[in-house]
Amino acid sequence: MPTLRLALSQVNPSVGDLAGNADLVRSWTRQAADAGAQLVLFPEMMLTGYPVEDLVFRRSFVAASRAALERLAADLAADGLGEVPVVVGYLDADGPPQVSGDAEPGHGARNAAALLHRGTVAARYFKHHLPNYGVFDEDRYFIPGDTLTVVRIAGVDVALTICEDLWQAGGPFAAAREAGVGLVVNINGSPYELNKDDIRLPLVRRRAAEANATIAYVNMIGGQDELVFEGDSMIVSADGELLTRAPQFVEHLLVHDVDLPAATEPPATGTAAGLRVVRGTVDGVPPAPSGPAAAGGLIEPVADEAEVWQALVLGLRDYVNKNRFPSVVLGLSGGIDSAVVAALAVDALGGDRVVGVSLPSQHSSEHSREDAADLAKRTGLDYRVEPIQPMVDAFLANLSLSGVAVENLQARVRGVILMALSNQEGHLVLTTGNKSELAVGYSTLYGDSVGGFNPIKDVWKTLVWRLAKWRNADAARRGETPPIPENSIGKPPSAELSPGQLDSDSLPDYDVLDPILIGYVDGDLGRDGLVESGHDPAVVDKVLRLVDTAEYKRRQSAPGAKISMKAFGRDRRLPITNRWREKG
């Protein structure tokens, strides 16, 4: 059996940075070639970044992607890397955008993969299965391919596929079996969700069995607006054995030797499983180096809290850095949410790029002020104190306000101060509301909701506590100072906008609230389903009413990293003006 040395390049592209992404391909291909790789793989839409959304409709962007691909092929050859086949994702088109008046049926933008060799585009493949659920809108943007591309490399028939092709039965993987390929390459832009890595491996095994071929699965890493890509690249044999697996949330070159069946029949076109099969051959691939076989190793999955923490750190870091913010600023209340956000920010950026501002009012407790100062000392962030009571009093001297209006005024004064610091010093404002609060509208518009990014937007309150405890325990395990004060973790949550106020005055305990919200928001359960699950009907009715009437607030909330199966925003799209209510 021939042996192919594969190099799976788990890298972090940026949307729109065609030149920078091409440079990544060149530098990582050099590393792969130095390791003796005979086939180098890069993620879905590597050249353009992913997802590009409505940039697909801009003909200048499509033309730039196509030109960048041709230039990359030539540059690889000029770098002395032309003999190494490289698979890279990019944006292509074989007709006008589907939204234009001159659109042609069956033609348009394509989510594409190209095999580059000897300075040219030796083969192309257009994604067949287009996802149109959750965060994906690919039916809006792309035309599906109807061809399976098979390239003979070093005596092995290799089929090219892209992301969703793996997630659905039939199509390219069924065609690959009929075509007798030995290896299926699957390049991905697969966003992170908690425990998705547990789903992915069984899925790859099913497709390996369907194709009767080894699968090389490569996924990008990095943050792109709300999405986080965690890598988790792997190679699985035709009989389902996990041969090698990359770590999550870091760039990584996974190099591994794979024994594959030799192609026996002459290359020929035809049809398989309803797809046209187009075949080609790449000649002159360097032989695998002599000596020990390359082994990529197996990375064991980490605990849920560790996985989520890494995802949130990566999402925040890339949002700040890719959008070129020098630093971030947030309000430090002494509570658990702002403490977790501050710890995430310091882990992502370093304490010298994080400004934490204590904004006490007359209702702020002494222990909360002390807890905010303690967190700043533990993390090394830039700590400031800006009392808000004089500004609140100035408003009240000119406005007749009472009750909730006064509570909201305090939150809005804090928002004004944070935005003023942002304008003056260039910081990105981080907001600190968790998913439970966003769900029930427990936030002040233009107050505590103000900000450009929310690191815990998709984190339920009960998970916030778990993350805090895990982060402190992880620090202690490594002999470091735990970043989050125990007082912030242990005390009852409160907005501290009125005397003696607690969250439990307005909301059920979070241990009761979160399971209802998870069922309603993530699981799309109606009232009857929630009651049948054992929840108190009166509590369910109250919670659903709060969720339904807060849609207008959520529509105005800052973006934040997605870590669940259904995040607010791209995943969950409900009308603001909506009279449908679950009947109680």
Cβ(112)–Cβ(90) under 8 Å? yes
* d(C-alpha 325, C-alpha 418), whole Å: 15
Cα–Cα distance, 100 to 97 (Å, whole number):
6
44 is an active site residue: yes
Burial of 469 (0-12, 13-18, 19+ CB in 10 A): middle
What is the C-alpha to C-alpha distance for residues 500 and 421, in angstroms, rounded to an integer? Answer: 30
CB 298 within 8 A of CB 245: yes
The number of CA neighbours under 13 Å toward the Cβ of 350 is 5
Round to whole Å and give the CA distance between 17 and 11.
14
Residue that has been written with the tokens 């003796």 in this structure? 36
| DSSP string computed for 411-439 | HHHHHHHHHHHHHHH-PEEBP---HHHHH
* Separation CA 144–CA 518 (nearest Å): 34
Q: Which listed residue (127, 457, 461, 562) is catalytic?
A: 127
457 is catalytic: no
- DSSP secondary structure letter of residue 231: B
Q: How far apart are CA 574 and CA 555, in angstroms?
A: 9
Where b means 16+ CB within 10 Å and e means fewer, 179-200 reads bbbbbbbbbbbbbbbbebbeeb
Radius of gyration of the chain (CA): 26
Query: Edge to edge, what strands does the sheet with 39-41 contain?
Result: 120-126, 109-117, 86-93, 39-41, 3-10, 252-259
Which of 138, 163, 457, 562 is the catalytic position?
Answer: 163
**Helix and strand counts by DSSP (H, E) for the chain:** 18, 20
Q: Which H/E stretch holds residue 176?
A: helix 172-179
Q: Is 230 a catalytic residue?
A: no
Q: Is the peptide bond before 287 cis (omega within 30 degrees of 0)?
A: no
Residue 205 has φ and ψ, to the nearest 5°, of -65, -40
Specify which residues 257 forms β-bridges with: 5
Q: Of residues 44, 230, 407, 496, which has the active-site annotation? A: 44
Separation of alpha carbons 255 and 482, rounded Å: 36
Contacts of the segment 297-304: beta carbons below 8 A, 24+ positions apart: 297/244, 297/245, 298/242, 298/244, 298/245, 299/245, 299/246, 299/247, 299/248, 301/197, 301/198, 301/248, 302/248, 303/470, 304/194, 304/195
Residue 507: closest CA among 402, 414, 434, 583 = 434
The four Cα atoms 110, 112, 116, 122 give a dihedral, to 10 degrees, of -60
Are residues 561 and 455 in contact, defined by beta-carbon separation less than 8 angstroms? yes
Residue with tokens 């035309």: 143
CA nearest neighbour of 471 among 336, 367, 356? 336
Tell me the C-alpha distance between 454 and 567, whole Å. Answer: 12
* Residues labelled catalytic: 44, 127, 163
